[in-house]
Chain A
Amino acid sequence: MGDYVWFHDVSWHASYAIYFFVIGICSGLAFLSYGSWITPALRPLREKAAYLSFALLAVGGVLLIADLSQPMRFLNVLNPAYLNFTSPLAWGSLNIVAFGIASVLYLMALKKGDETPRTKLIATVTALLALGLPVYTGYDLTVHQSRPIWNTPVMPVLFVALAIASGSAVGSLVAGGNEAARKVLHQYLLWSTAAVGVILVSILGTTNYGGAASELTFVILTTGTMGLIFVGIGILAGTAAPVALLLAPVGHKQSGLMLSALLVLVGSAALRYALLMGPQQLQTLY
């Protein structure tokens, strides 16, 4: 009855945002573990970060597979006869698998207490593969030419920044009272979160000045429930507030850092959700 349009479902639901969140922290922690090879202050975090990262990889993998409507077919992605290299998801799957293998090797080396350059090399490779995770997830959105917001070249960069921010946030929580580590993490958290903020501003700017679809996506992202999640939790509480907090004197204290870390985590989860769902709303009406 009435003006009638067929109803379309969004393609990716909230569970995919959770995956983004988990895999972001996973890669962020891998950076930290690798960072400990360069920045001695982070040395106490090396094993913890590596184990946690691996654990999150497992969780992320399960989430990713469970989100498939044919979970048992996830192996198809690894079938060389099937692989389609124009798909970021194909690259992403290879990346995840490679990262998983590298992580295992790395953990084995760590377990042996092997601190040779060989282990450092494995750590480097692992970190590079970890970098691939946010890059591919961002790229996974970017390639969708018809979706405003997603279809911006900075999306992978944003996801890398989010990964560092959320990884550092978890690191900050894990680091506890270790002052040296905290100092480094403070910088990581501050700069990555600030970077997230800058990228968001530029994305929103281009979106608001884009065509009708972009404009409407902007409207969807900044009003109503989605606005609360995106602007309220994601940008204000989860990005601006922690940056301000970290710049303030209290941000250098353990409590301030912990609070900022929590805000960043909540914020980055909200951002991922909003960035995933917001740009999908519009097209369901087309």
Chain B
Amino acid sequence: MSEEQRVSSIETRGVAGKKRYAMVVDTRRCIGCMACQVACKAEYDTPLGVNRTWVPYKVVGKYPTVKKQFLPRLCNHCDDPPCVRNCPVDATYKVEDGGFVLQRYERCIGCRSCMAACPYNARFMLPAHRTYSSITRVVDKCTFCFHRVTQNMVPACVQTCVGRSRVFGDINDPNSEVSYLVARNPTQVLRPEEGTKPQVYYIGADRNATEFGRDAYHKPDVMELDRSAFKRNFKI
């Protein structure tokens, strides 16, 4: 959060001379297969009811000119992350080299300030019950697969992405595929007006889905059936 970075949300590339991992999500290639979501669940034994990544969709247009759009979502590993600013105990923190925003589970007190602070709903409280993992009742989120990336593997969601919609790499490295994609294509980030400097770059994303606009809150009735069930039944 240097002064320099606060100036512009576009020209951010982490810390000069260090790695700045980023993800490009090419929505033109996303087929909504949900493989990413499930791969991530498996990688982390993420419990039911919460997700590190999710793929909402929208049906747009009028019969017979109708299209379906997907917008894969995850933590943006913001360069200016309000979640980090808001954590009273530094349980969520930014790794300068790489740009990861991570959690210290053993320190988190579960005050949920970071959840309130994240404009993207990227954070969630882990319920008390999990299949085999012991970390519960603290806040969790996407780690950009820190443990894989630091062993030179792409994140689990990228690994399995059927449409090859998700591409991962160092955006400070001009030779990386992510740099190439960001340089050659118009890209969008989610809610740039929040000044969070997100590091998940979308190609071809529909503004109606990415922006914090009225349309994002148009609630289709059918979703409401499930949403009310979720509200009713999901207890942490």
Contact = CB atoms under 8 A, between A and B. Distances in A.
A229 to B, nearest CB: 17
A9 interface: yes
Contacts of A68: 109-111
Given A83-B89, A84-B87, A89 B113 contact: yes
B91 to A, nearest CB: 8
A182 B90 CA distance: 47
A284 B138 CA distance: 19
B16 interface: no
A284 B120 CA distance: 9
A120 to B, nearest CB: 33
Interface stretch (B54-62, B143-151, B164-172): B54-62
Contact of B222 (A1, A143, A147): A1
B33 interface: no
A87 B85 contact: yes
Nearest to A86: B85
Interface stretch (B7-15, B17-25, B223-231): B223-231
A111 interface: no
Given A4-B56, A9-B234, A146-B191, A70 B125 contact: no
A4 B116 CA distance: 23
A213 interface: yes
Contacts of B220: 2-3
B89 A84 contact: yes
Contact of B87 (A87, A92, A93, A212): A87
B82 interface: yes
Given A146-B191, A286-B120, A76 B89 contact: yes
A7 B226 contact: yes
Interface in B58-81: 58-59, 73
Interface stretch (B95-103, B180-188, B209-217): B209-217
Interface in A60-93: 67-70, 73-74, 76-77, 79, 82-84, 86-90, 92-93
B107 A285 contact: no
Interface string A1-18: 111111111011000000
Contact of A283 (B54, B121, B230): B121
A89 B120 contact: no
A64 B224 CA distance: 32
Q: How large is the interface on A (under 10, 10 to 19, 20 to 34, 35 or more residues)?
A: 35 or more
B44 to A, nearest CB: 16
B45 interface: no
A52 interface: no
Contacts of B216: 285-286
27 contacts: A2-B220, A5-B56, A7-B231, A11-B115, A68-B110, A69-B125, A70-B108, A73-B109, A76-B109, A77-B88, A77-B89, A82-B107, A84-B89, A86-B85, A87-B87, A87-B88, A89-B111, A89-B113, A144-B116, A145-B194, A146-B118, A213-B213, A216-B214, A280-B116, A285-B216, A285-B217, A286-B212
Interface of B: 51, 54, 56-59, 73, 82, 85-91, 107-113, 115-121, 124-125, 137-139, 191, 194-195, 212-214, 216-217, 219-223, 225-227, 230-231, 234, 236
Given A6-B56, A70-B110, 18 more contacts: A2-B220, A3-B223, A5-B223, A6-B51, A6-B54, A7-B227, A8-B121, A69-B125, A76-B107, A82-B91, A83-B89, A89-B113, A144-B82, A146-B119, A212-B214, A213-B212, A284-B121, A286-B216
